[in-house]
Amino acid sequence: MSREAWRDFICSDDHAGRHLSSIGRGVIGSTHSSIDLHALQAFLEKLSGANADISLLATVVDLLTGGYLQFLRNGFQRLLFALSNERVAREEIVGPALRGNPKWGATMLRRRVGTLSRVHYVTHTAHRSFDLPENQLLAWFVSDTAQRIKSVEKKVGFRNLHPDLQSISLACREALKHEYFADIQIPSRITHSLILSGQRQKRPEYREAAALARRSELLLMNDPAAWWYNVISLLAVNWLEPVNSDDLFELYILVLTIDVLAKELGFGDPLEYGLVSARRERIAHFATDELTIDLFFDQTPAAMLKIATAYGSIVSDYKELKGAERRPDIMLSIEKDGVSKLILIEVKKTSDDKYASDSVYKMFGYIHDFSSLSGRDVSGILMLPGIVTQPATRSADTKLHIASGNSRADFANVLEAAIRF
């Protein structure tokens, strides 16, 4: 299967799997055909973080697909040195040199009462003012965009903030420090009249700023129904596409795993989803009358399941050793009648036979490491992109299975065998 085939499956219209892409650095804002709106709504309603998760996802998708960075780097920079302005008269004290339009009556009165020296004058001087509605629109847009990125940073951390979001944030901070912006009052909220003021300007940059401000406003509405409609409209076609093909293949296997569990293995749709972001926990939760399944993505069993590992024990015993707990690509934690089972799914996009064989050995290391001190039944599945010929017979106690991402049927069979108690 090609990258396009993985992408098409991830973006199938009958599920919202595309939104399980990482909210991190290795993605780009992208578009695809619309998700079925009922499927998208069901996904969003099942997010463990509720509206906070929905807002995070929508904000990042909007900022990376809306053209914000392009505007701030190009049109906005041109506009900074051509801002609309007007001449306003301002009363001030000047001297000893006289400038402006002197107010002799006020000058003589102040001199008589002793509040003005003989070498100073009260005058009206002309100044350029940038505090116009179209510039207030611009100031609101810059301030609001900076605040939105700050809210994302608080949730994912600066290290995980997308480079484009870092660039947008820097551009906004620099703009707010610009000398012309010092004179502009930043509105507390955007209004229809401010947007109209930008739309009516001759310069196209003002009209572009008005369009982006209007786009931002759609995700800030206090009306829950209107806000929900705008979020659905945004996320139906826009998503965060992994740049690297390895990451895209991992996302493909993640979405495939959830889909196979729901359909072929009969567990139904997950009861809960989680976003793939920093500080995440489980990505999907399944439950039947007999068992529960928690799916984790790129997380350590030590942290998520609080289990001790042989590797972690050795590293902690020797001060000369440094290392973090290992994290399989996908992990299924299954509970049934008080018995725990752990299935590790490692994803390798490779056609190199030796690398694939080395990955088999790595999987045995995972299986031993996570079972030796935890007391859990641990097995693994190695997923490869090419053809994998399944053996004619397989021992019932096999701990490692290998399957191809090209064969949904083979993957369903080995996953069912691994889950079986």
Look up residue 149 and give its two tokens.
């990125």
CATH number at residue 395: 3.40.1350
Ranges 13-27, 325-339, 387-401: which has the least confidence:
387-401
Higher pLDDT, 7 or 222: 7
Whats the size of the chain, residue-wise? Answer: 421
Q: Is the pLDDT of residue 340 over 60?
A: yes
Q: Is the pLDDT of residue 155 over 80?
A: yes
| pLDDT number for residue 124 | 67
Ranges 46-55, 194-203, 382-391: which has the least confidence:
382-391
Report the distance separating Cα 53 and Cα 157, nearest Å: 15
Taking a C-beta distance cutoff of 8 angstroms, is the pair 415, 405 a contact? no
Residues in Cβ contact with 241 at an 8 Å cutoff, skipping those fewer than 6 apart:
7, 18, 21, 27, 28, 29, 30, 248
Q: Are residues 137 and 187 in the same domain?
A: yes
Taking a C-beta distance cutoff of 8 angstroms, is the pair 168, 149 a contact? yes
Q: Find the domain containing 119 and state its range.
A: 86-129
Q: Are residues 68 and 111 in the same domain?
A: no
Q: Are residues 250 and 329 in the same domain?
A: yes
Look up residue 119 and give its two tokens.
């070498």
Ranges 170-179, 273-282, 319-328: which has the least confidence:
319-328
Q: Are residues 39 and 76 in the same domain?
A: yes
Q: Are residues 185 and 310 in the same domain?
A: no
| pLDDT number for residue 126 | 61
| pLDDT number for residue 34 | 96
Which of 227, 242, 257 terminates a domain? The answer is 242
> Does 18 reside within a domain?
no
Q: Is the pLDDT of residue 125 over 70?
A: no
| pLDDT number for residue 86 | 57
Q: Are residues 152 and 263 in the same domain?
A: no
> Does 17 reside within a domain?
no
Rounded to 10 degrees, the C-alpha dihedral 183/185/186/189 comes to -160
> Does 25 reside within a domain?
no
**Tens digits of per-residue pLDDT, 256-272?**
999 999 999 999 999 99
Residue type, 358: D
Distance separating the N- and C-terminal Cα atoms of the chain:
32
Q: Is the pLDDT of residue 397 over 90?
A: no
Q: Are residues 97 and 219 in the same domain?
A: no
Higher pLDDT, 292 or 350: 292
Q: Which residue do the tokens 């209007």 mark?
A: 214
Q: Is the pLDDT of residue 396 over 70?
A: no
> Does 392 reside within a domain?
yes
Q: Are residues 258 and 273 in the same domain?
A: yes
On average, the pLDDT of the chain sits at 90
| pLDDT number for residue 85 | 65
* Structural domains counted in the chain: 3
> Does 7 reside within a domain?
no
| pLDDT number for residue 14 | 94
Taking a C-beta distance cutoff of 8 angstroms, is the pair 315, 299 a contact? no
Which of 207, 242, 277 terminates a domain? The answer is 242
Note the pTM of the prediction, 2 decimals: 0.85
Q: Are residues 411 and 325 in the same domain?
A: yes
Q: Is the pLDDT of residue 88 over 60?
A: no
Q: Are residues 321 and 360 in the same domain?
A: yes
| pLDDT number for residue 234 | 96
Percent of the chain scoring above 70 in pLDDT: 96
375-396 burial string, b = 16+ CB within 10 Å, else e? ebebbbbbbbbeebeeeeeeee
> Does 391 reside within a domain?
yes
What's the mean pLDDT in 377-401? 83
> Does 205 reside within a domain?
yes
47 secondary structure, DSSP code: B
Q: Is the pLDDT of residue 139 over 90?
A: yes
> Does 14 reside within a domain?
no
| pLDDT number for residue 52 | 93
| pLDDT number for residue 6 | 95
Q: Are residues 350 and 272 in the same domain?
A: yes
What's the mean pLDDT in 311-327? 83
Q: Are residues 167 and 237 in the same domain?
A: yes
**Tens digits of per-residue pLDDT, 91-121?**
778 778 777 778 888 878 888 888 888 888 8
| pLDDT number for residue 375 | 74
What band does 348 get if pLDDT is binned at 50, 70 and 90? very high
Which of 96, 129, 162 terminates a domain? The answer is 129
| pLDDT number for residue 94 | 76
What's the mean pLDDT in 386-393? 78
What's the mean pLDDT in 240-248? 95
